[in-house]
Amino acid sequence: MFKGSIVALVTPFKGNEIDEFALRKLVDWHISEGTDGIVPVGTTGESPTLNHDEHERVVEIVIDQSNKRVPIIAGTGSNSTAEAINLLKHAENAGADAALVVTPYYNKPTPEGLYAHYEALDSASSGIPIIIYNIPSRSVIDINVDLMGRLSHLQSIVGVKDATSDISRIKEHNELCEDGFIQLSGEDETIYEFMINGGQGCISVTANILPKVCSDMHKAFSNNDLEEAKRLNNILMPLHKSLFIETSPSPVKYILSKMDLIDYEIRLPLVKIRQETKSILDEIISNLEIRTTSSILNFSNI
């Protein structure tokens, strides 16, 4: 169920409020373009600056609009275990297909603290699958492969979104984790290597912009057409790199606004990108011939 091109969805704002119309439009657009799953209120969805009511509302809107057409993996992480449990229960009750739970940031728990955190979530859930989000670059701490192996034996833990860029972990996870443990990349730039080494998919920022190309690339992987997958990945690589010139999701929101899909609004402490970054992104938009709205995208060079 959790594989292929899964978008780490932005949260659109209008007047600093959630833009429900734009959010619903994005969900429909992604499904029509072949996206295999949607992650609302993750890092790309600006979860740190959504209040609890907003967080829950975004999850509810995405679940309602998707109407079971694709799996919804709701972001429910927090550095407070009690808060993470509350978000997890809400996502479960709202009908999410899984929860994405980031490692607790700022607190810097020990490995035993990390295990206790996920064990508490496992005990509190009624069975919703939990995907661990391991992103040391943002959360400081890392779940090493031995601990991941232990965590995989908890009933609700089904996989990991791995944003370490360490391709060697795929094989190590396969050796230490439960059979069927799902490995999803959290780094668009490394997706080709991640997939050919045994990964099942990617929770992608780039898929916000080119969902069909990302979907086609994963279909090529599933068909064992590595030449086509590599060709599409090479086309996507400039976008993979440019979306992180400044802190995400400001660059991706800029491009989406140029596509007339959302307003270019981002919440402090993140700010809009600099003019020099806009120039780089504008050139990429032109080179890829990224067009505008309603899935009208022309890729004459693809």
What's the pLDDT score for residue 302?
A: 41
Cα dist from 55 to 41, 73, 117, 250, 282, whole Å:
7, 13, 21, 19, 31
What's the pLDDT score for residue 291?
A: 61
Residues 6+ apart with CB under 8 A from 17: none
Neighbours of 232 (CB within 10 A): 23
**3-state SS class at 201:** strand
What's the pLDDT score for residue 293?
A: 44
Q: What is the dihedral of CA 210, 213, 214, 215, to 10 degrees?
A: 120
> Which contiguous run of DSSP H or E holds residue 133?
strand 130-134
The one catalytic residue among 3, 118, 133, 212: 133
Q: How far apart are CA 237 and CA 226, in angstroms?
A: 16
- Of how many residues is the chain composed? 302
Ramachandran category for residue 226: left, alpha or beta (phi over 0 → left; psi -120 to 50 → alpha): alpha
What's the pLDDT score for residue 298?
A: 41
- Do strands 37-39 and 4-8 pair parallel, antiparallel, or not at all (unpaired)? parallel
230 given a catalytic annotation: no
Q: Name the token pair of 278.
A: 């806009």
What's the pLDDT score for residue 104?
A: 96
Cis peptide leading into 136, omega within 30 of 0? no
Helix pair angle (226-242, 275-288), 10° resolution: 160
The one catalytic residue among 3, 118, 161, 253: 161
272 given a catalytic annotation: no
What's the pLDDT score for residue 117?
A: 98
pLDDT digits over 66-100, tens only?
999 999 999 999 999 999 999 999 999 999 999 99
Mean pLDDT by 10-residue block, N- to C-terminus, for the chain (302 residues)? Answer: 96 98 98 98 97 98 98 97 97 98 95 98 94 95 97 98 96 96 97 97 98 97 97 95 96 97 98 97 89 43 40
What's the pLDDT score for residue 290?
A: 78
CATH for the 4-208 domain, from 3.50.50.60, 3.20.20.70, 3.40.50.80, 3.40.50.1390 = 3.20.20.70
CB 184 within 8 A of CB 159: yes
Name the strands in the sheet holding 37-39, side by side, starting at the edge strand that comes first in the sequence: 37-39, 4-8, 201-204, 182-185, 157-162, 130-134, 98-102, 73-75
What's the pLDDT score for residue 288?
A: 85
Q: How far apart are CA 133 and CA 186, in angstroms?
A: 8
Helices (H), the chain: 20-33, 52-66, 81-94, 111-124, 136-139, 145-151, 168-176, 191-196, 211-222, 226-242, 250-258, 275-288
> Could you tell me which residues are beta bridge partners of residue 100?
75, 131
CB 301 within 8 A of CB 234: no
Q: Radius of gyration of the chain from Cα atoms?
A: 18
